[in-house]
Chains A and B, each alone.
Chain A
Amino acid sequence: MGITRRQFFGWMGAAVGSQMAFTAQAKAAGTAHFTGYPGSMGVLHDISRCIGCRKCEAACNQVNHLPAPETPFDDRAVLEKIRRPHAAAFTVVNQYKPKGKPGPVFVKTQCNHCMEPACVSACFVKALTKSKTGAVVYDASLCVGCRYCMVACPFNIPAFQYHNPLTPEITKCTLCQPRIQKGLRPGCVEACPQEALTFGKREELIKIAKQRIGAYPERYEDHIYGENEMGGCNWLYISNTPFTGINMREDLGITPAPALTAGALAAVPVVVSLWVVFINGLRAISKRKEQIATEEKSQAVSAAVLSEQARFNNEIKQLKEKAKTEKEAAITREVKKALEAAARGPSENGAGQTPPSPKPSGTAHPEKQENN
């Protein structure tokens, strides 16, 4: 034998090593941590500073060339009703009166520009994409209008032009992507008179938020909304009242949306491959069974045919013998008769009795034949 102990252990080592390397790699993918585009931009919304002036709404309307609203932006009566972003407004400010707060609280709502957006994950034509700037942008030239992004969005942000019959589009805040690319701040941020909105790099914004909470712990809730929600958002919020009371869900979890469907999608190629194997296998088994059944059947049939044949031959033989003896007897009888007749006189030739014909009882081909 040419294999030495040393060689054998060498191989073992290699096998185990490669196994380890593979596992390590697989693990690297499994535990891979994605931290988003470095230096991507965002906005910090300090809810405690918002006064509900709706200047951000007006600016948004202007920079995005949206149709003029029915009531002017300085009409504060619209604040009486809770609104959501819709086809004609990418952002809205809502007024809440949470328990234990003397005055009303105002919250600006718009796309949160998730780090791992559910809408981008859900879009089946890549009409929605996450830009390196941090913005979640929409390309209407690809959109089919299936509205799965609206279903998927945990914040209920994307809206749809329901009254556009032929070329409806999804509408949502763009983080003013065209302005960011020109080095400008988003329209709403620029318009805010209270500095309730701060535009900057997301990392910086988180630091600012932490500073404010740290400096005024009695004023702020100890929670940066959007830091971890659904894997994190580029739009962040700090508040002087619990988020749940101002219509901001705190039960969304921290799992990024793409991870929710990744597992099911990963099963697809596995199902295809294994189904090909299983279906072929099942078919082979049922065919083999069928074949065995037919073989057994034909064997049984031929065996039956053989025994039947033998019985038949035997019967024929017996009958033949019987016929022979009968015939002989008949001949002797006839001869006797003839002799007697001849002795009695001419004419009167009696009709010769024919011997009984053999009656086969079995058929050569049994009816139990496969008739499929």
Chain B
Amino acid sequence: MEHLTPTPPALTTGRDTVFTPFNIVSGIIILIGCVITVLRFTRGIGGVSNLNDTNPWGLWIGFDLYCGVALAAGGYVTCAACYIFGLKQFRCAVRPAVLTAFLGYGLVVFALNYDVGRPWRLPYPIFLSQGTTSVLFEVALCVFLYLSVLMLEFSPVAFEWLNWKRARYIIGKVSMVLIIFGIILSTLHQSSLGAIFLITPSKLHPLWYSGYLPVYFFISSIFAGMSMVIFEHSLVARFLHDKIDAEHHLESNNVALGFAKSAAFLMAGYIMIQIIGIAIDNDWKYLPTRWGLWYLIEIIGFVAIPAILYAIGVRERNIKLIQRTSLWAVLGIVLNRLNVSLIAFNWQLPLNQRYFPSFMEIMTTIFIVTIGVVIYRFVVTRMPVLYAHPDFPDDH
């Protein structure tokens, strides 16, 4: 019975000192990040990054935006599983997934402030001058709307924490609308990130370029989201186990099994449409090349093998294997997004014209990820994310 009572909010996992190893390391990273921020806004993008005229997008777009959005897909996937497909056992996974998505999207927008030339103009495409023929316009609109939706989807947690019963009641009334809207926006947004590169058939390697890019991105975002939920749960169970109540504890294994099963099958479908894409464009001749090898490493090594391991894990009810595979699948998605946006982009250029991120670019990315981890910890150690709030037990 002791699990049913949620642990009272405690400062930095209950220890008295703030100088825990976690706090020291994250503090140093955040300090470095602040220095780079100052440099970015005094010396310009060229002063801190290796970006140039031929390689206008680098790590900040390739990782922070592309991977950030893909890995934030857990939010809409879990919401859809629980509320649209009626799989009630996923209910306890909704809040952590929505929090991850909210943080993910928030950090994507935060990272954009470093990457775009004049970040204070980021609202321009939505409010001032709508370039409707641009895929990026769709992306901007979706990010803006979905971030708002995620904030509202997550707000009940904050309201429960603050004990604002009235606000919590009102938001509960529109939660279904928010969830449906969120799923639509995610579908569009995940796919449009792939569609961004439809305009560059001459720059993106044919094995990655395809008319199906939006579909690839959408389908892979679904199993990315599922893998991320499984992976996140394994981390939480390891490092924040005192924040989890009994229901979450019991259900997290079912969530892992359910998502691993779906992800494995989706990955199989994804591999099929990848092969179909090659056949449609007659790109077979690229397979026995170095780029073809790299492509096969991505598809076989980071999609097919995780799919098989998921399948074995599901058949044998091996949660450990599923959790390990989830990290593998997450890395596979990261690899795919980096391939499309950076590695296979500008593939014909000679090596000396290719891009490699600078130290400060990499540090900025680490800084942003660290902020995410710190905020995640702050929230789950205080707010009813991983446990049901005693005053609002059934709204969870």
Contact = CB atoms under 8 A, between A and B. Distances in A.
Are A and B in contact, CB atoms below 8 Å, in the complex? Answer: yes
A3 interface: no
Nearest to A154: B202
A126 B47 contact: no
A168 interface: yes
Nearest to B218: A271
Given A144-B118, A168-B45, A265 B135 contact: yes
A19 to B, nearest CB: 29
B124 A160 contact: no
B203 interface: yes
Nearest to B179: A279
A372 B89 CA distance: 11
Contacts of B121: 125, 142-145
Interface string B110-147: 00000111110110110011111111111110000000
A271 B187 CA distance: 8
B83 interface: yes
Interface residues of A, number: 65
Given A122-B199, A279-B184, A282-B84, A261 B133 contact: yes
B140 A160 contact: no
B53 A126 contact: no
Interface in B324-340: none
Contact of B129 (A142, A160, A253): A142
A162 B45 contact: yes
Given A162-B51, A372-B88, A264 B118 contact: no
Interface in B136-180: 136-140, 180
A265 B199 CA distance: 12
A142 B117 CA distance: 12
A169 B117 CA distance: 8
A282 B115 CA distance: 40
A142 B57 contact: no
A212 interface: no
Interface stretch (A58-66, A178-186, A284-292): A284-292
A163 interface: yes
Interface of B is mostly: helix
Nearest to B87: A286
Interface residues of B, number: 59
Given A121-B134, A253-B201, A264 B195 contact: yes
A164 interface: yes
Nearest to A281: B84
Contact of A126 (B42, B86, B129, B139): B129
A151 B52 CA distance: 11
A280 B192 CA distance: 23
B84 A286 contact: yes
Contacts of B201: 253, 255, 260
Given A145-B116, A289-B86, A372-B88, A122 B214 contact: no
A163 B128 CA distance: 26
B305 interface: no
Contacts of B202: 154, 249, 251-253
Given A125-B128, A151-B57, A286-B84, A144 B188 contact: no
Contacts of B213: 264
Contacts of B116: 144-147
Interface of A: 84-87, 118, 120-127, 142-148, 150-152, 154, 156, 158-169, 249, 251-253, 255, 257-258, 260-265, 267-268, 271-272, 275-276, 279-280, 282-283, 286-287, 289-290, 372
Given A126-B129, A162-B53, A265-B135, 17 more contacts: A144-B118, A144-B121, A144-B122, A146-B116, A147-B56, A147-B116, A154-B203, A160-B53, A162-B52, A165-B43, A168-B44, A255-B201, A260-B201, A262-B133, A264-B195, A264-B214, A265-B132
16 contacts: A85-B53, A123-B134, A124-B136, A142-B128, A142-B129, A144-B121, A144-B122, A144-B125, A145-B118, A150-B53, A152-B200, A167-B117, A268-B138, A276-B180, A276-B184, A290-B86
